[in-house]
Structure 1
Amino acid sequence: METRENIIVPLGYGKFVRSDKIVALEPIEDDRGPGRRTRVFIDHVTAPMIASRTENSILANMVEIPKEVMEATAALELLRDIHDDIQQIGPMLRKSIKKEANFDIDKVQKRIEEILKHEIEFDFKQ
């Protein structure tokens, strides 16, 4: 993966920065909500800028990454978010949803955990 030079990357909120000046991207996890935000660390700037875009969308502007890799990364991010939300559903509501909608949240949660477990194993092998 190579950074494209002299490309202006939009960060949202009317902020832009050159792609080759971005040194790090850090997703803001707390209270991230549906509007994804990212801390963007810029060369020779002491405090990070807050972007109103995801780290993946910023990275897609900075580098040339195969579309399949970006889509897979976005899908895994979505699974992590769904998993986090599912963990907040209590047992009574789970039973009600299973009975009323024939949707087994426990089964979905286990499947997501299997996928995320393989993602972690894959990361360590690289």
Structure 2
Amino acid sequence: MRIAPGRLVYLGYGKYVRSDRIVALLPIEEERGPGRRTLVYVEGLPEPVVAGRTEATIVRDMVGPEGGAVELLRELQAQIKQVRPLLKASIRSEAGLDLDELSRRISNLTGEGEHEGDASDRLL
């Protein structure tokens, strides 16, 4: 993912920071609650800013429009995993569309390891 420079990122409760000034995001694990989700380390500030949004939401806003494409790919991959092996084989045979290969390619593009499916997913 590439950070969209100069973009204002909303941290919650009226706080905004420029996307290219954020150097680290750490989820708050203790005393987490409304208004306390993530510690945002900002270049030039001695202490982290407490954000009311999750680190994933902040990252999505930092990367800009292409972040939506990644989310769409993840959603597509989740849907592919719902397709039963026999139907996947039929789609591959009839339409030439290999859903398992498509899922692997999505994993490569998003930089995430594909979650292990059950053994029946790999049989067909």
Closer, same or farther: CA 3–68 of 1 in aligned 2, 3 Å: same
Q: Give the letter aligned to residue 19 of structure 1.
A: S
Are the counterparts in 2 of residues 56 and 70 from structure 1 also a CA contact under 8 Å?
no
Q: TM-score, normalised by structure 2?
A: 0.52
**Which amino acid in the other structure matches residue 21 of structure 2?**
K
Q: Deviation string for 1:67-105 (max 9, x for gaps)?
A: 14676xxxxxxxxxxxxxxxxxxxxxxxxxxxxxxxxxx
Q: Give the deviation of 1:32 after TM superposition.
A: 2.0
Residue segments in structure 1 that go unaligned for 5+ positions in a row? 72-121
Runs of at least 5 residues in structure 2 that lack an aligned partner in the other structure: 76-112, 115-124
Equivalent-residue separation in structure 1 for 2:73 and 2:30 (angstroms): 26
Give the AA of the match of 2:53: R
- Counterpart Cα distance in 2 of 1:34 and 1:24: 21
In the alignment, what sits opposite 2:71? Answer: 67
Tell me the residue number matched to 1:56. Answer: 56
Matches within 5 A, 1:1-126: 1-33=1-33, 37-63=37-63, 64-65=66-67, 66-68=70-72, 122=113
Q: Deviations over 1:32-64 (max 9, x none)?
A: 247661000001111000000000000000013
Larger relative helix fraction: 1
RMSD, aligned α-carbons: 2.8
Q: Secondary structure at the match of 1:50?
A: strand
Computing the radius of gyration over CA atoms, which structure comes out larger, 1 or 2?
Answer: 2
Q: CA deviation at 1:31?
A: 3.0
| Distance change in 2, residues 1:35/1:62 (3 Å) | same
Identity %: 49
Q: Name the amino acid aligned to 1:23.
A: V
* CA deviation after TM superposition for structure 1 residue 13, in Å: 1.5
CA distances 1:8-44 after superposition (whole Å, capped 9, x unpaired)? 0000111101000000000000132476610000011
Count of residue pairs the alignment pairs up: 75
Could you tell me the TM-score, scaled by structure 1's length? Answer: 0.51
